[in-house]
Structure 1
Amino acid sequence: MAHALFTKKFLAKINTIIRNFWWAGHQEEGSSTPFHFRAWDDICQPKSMGGLGIKDLYNVNKSLLLKTAWNIVTEKDPNLTAILKGKYFHKSSFWTAPSSTPKSLFWASILKIRETLTNNCSYQILRGNTTIWNQPWVQCWTNMHNLLSTEQPATALPNSISDLWLPNTKTWDYDKIKNLFGDQAATSIANLTILNQDGPDILCWKPSTSGKCTARDAYNYLTATTHNQLPQTGSRSRS
């Protein structure tokens, strides 16, 4: 489940088998459908939200894939990342790799969950080595090229975050940024925190206090965004 995104129809069929076993204690061919005393969505909610904590298979599948994608972009396995980069995004980055090229089931699955990863990741700025054009470092990063001033500067365009700093400092060159990208982008960038530490920029998974995307953290995030807290009283009929 960490290497392919299964269809909802396939996972729903497995969920049906699990539900019937849960309520009836068995699953025999031709057996009658047992009565469900509670909606399965309720059963799958965390205990803290009134459920029984049974894992939702679709969210399990996505969370494992998110962890795999995280390992790729953080180069947990440098050889795997190098192979994928050479095949799918040798002219761009993981974040902007095109989806139109022929791809394997594995890479197609990664691309389907990439938006979730992108929306919840950001680089913590230390050395300023992150590329400003194709990596998530500021909210408007996907639109940086379109924000460029129509009057192109005579000097070369900046490439890394550190190119937007005043010389020999870790201070934003606000005038330079404003001339390149306009007032709104300049304000957003100037509000970013730069850590006074040495080392490369660090990719952070924002929903986690640790800053790392684990399968558990990814599942908790997906569960929180797909389930509502159960009512304190009453019950829901099965869906």
Structure 2
Amino acid sequence: MTQGRLDGWYFRKWSQAGKEVFLKSKAASLPVFAMSCFRLPKTVISKLSSIMSNFWWSSDEGAKKIHWIAWEWMCLLKSFGGMGFKDLESFNQALLAKQGWRLVNQPESLLARFLKSRYFPHENFLSAIMGTRPSFAWRSLLYGRELLSQRLKQEIGNGKDTKVWLDKWIDDPQEGLRPPWRKNHSFDVNLMVSSLINPDLRRWNLSTLQEIFVPGDIELILKRQPVVGREDFQSWKFHKKGTLTEK
């Protein structure tokens, strides 16, 4: 399909600038629906990339011209010396990660409830395993989750769903997300983060923090106050509003 779409444009004598606009706005968007649902095989990704590369380097349909730069380099941002074309394999994973993001943030949706009943009835999407006889769509979603889970950040709402010593909720600039360091030898392994929040002030209970955490962790915790009016939630680390986009 992509090949047919591009073939129809060969008769026009495009400038390189025109080809750039066309490839970014039209050709790269053709398989988006399929890529949002399934992980495309590497052979299909390679074929699509080859079609786009041939169109970029050649002005005549069917003519073979030298590709002076590998397509992988052309997919780099312009600030890194590339042309900013989409790396289709990375784009495919990003679209699947976006579907995973919806499962995390919209657990009551029809799709989320169906997948939960089939693949992770007693846990959440982020901790679900592949299971027995998984569908291709489910395996594709787990491929997107590989990217999603690396860049999610645990945010504290009312603290009732996050375990203090077992969950990774401390955002350490040096180590990334991790559980807090233990100050005392004895501790309650099932202690929930909700126990650290002053329900009247709806803020961290400083005296409790000082009692059980090391000073460095207290400083990290106090940087963000809990959002007591909602349940604990996930945010995307690289967006100001904490929402995930394909970019």
Q: Distance in 1 between matches of 2:113 and 2:84?
A: 38
**Contact 1:177 1:186 (8 Å CA) reproduced:** no
Deviations 1:120-164 (A, max 9, x none): 1113323224333887533225xx9xx9x99685xx9235x2134
Q: 1:24 aligns with which of 54, 58, 62?
A: 58
Name stretches of at least 5 consecutive residues in structure 2 with no aligned partner.
1-34, 171-176
In structure 1, the residue matched to 2:110 is 79
**Consecutive unaligned residues in structure 1, runs of 5 or more:** 218-239
Match of 1:108 among 139, 142, 150: 139
Once the two structures are superposed, the pairs formed by residues 194-233 of structure 1 within 5 Å of their partners are 194-195=225-226, 198-215=229-246, 217=247
> Is the CA contact (8 Å cut-off) linking 2:167 and 2:178 kept in structure 1?
no
Cα distance between partner residues in 1 of 2:221 and 2:56: 54
Structure 2 partner of 1:61: 92
Distance 1:72 1:129 in 2: 20
Cα distance between partner residues in 2 of 1:152 and 1:209: 35
Matches within 5 A, 1:1-239: 1-26=35-60, 28=62, 33-75=64-106, 78-132=109-163, 137-138=169-170, 139-140=177-178, 157-159=190-192, 161-165=193-197, 170-172=203-205, 173-174=208-209, 177=212, 190=221, 193-195=224-226, 198-215=229-246, 217=247
RCO higher in 1 or 2 (8 Å CA, sep ≥ 6)?
1
The 8 Å contact of residues 93 and 147 in structure 2, kept in 1 or not, is answered as: no
**1: CA distance, partners of 2:215 / 2:116:** 33
TM-fit CA distance, 1:165: 3.8
Identity %: 27
CA distance in 1 between partners of 2:76 and 2:142 (Å)? 27
| RMSD, matched Cα | 3.5
Task: Return the alpha-carbon distance in structure 1 between the equivalents of residues 215 and 134 of structure 2.
Answer: 38
CA distance in 2, matches of 1:114, 1:150: 35
CA shift in 2, pair 1:123/1:43, >3 Å: same
Q: Give secondary structure in 2 for the equivalent of 1:200.
A: coil
TM-score (norm 1): 0.68
Give 1:163's aligned amino acid.
Answer: S
Give, in whole Å, the separation in 2 of the partners of 1:91 and 1:175: 35
The equivalent of 1:232 in structure 2 is none
* Structure 1 position 196, deviation (Å): 6.1
- Displacement after TM superposition at 1:175 (Å): 6.9
Aligned length: 203
- What residue is the counterpart of 1:220 in the other structure? none
Q: Structure 2: how far apart are the matches of 1:59 and 1:176?
A: 45
Alpha-carbon spacing, 1:116–1:184, altered in 2? closer, same or farther (3 Å): farther
Normalised TM-score (structure 2): 0.66
| C-alpha deviation, 1:117, in angstroms | 1.0
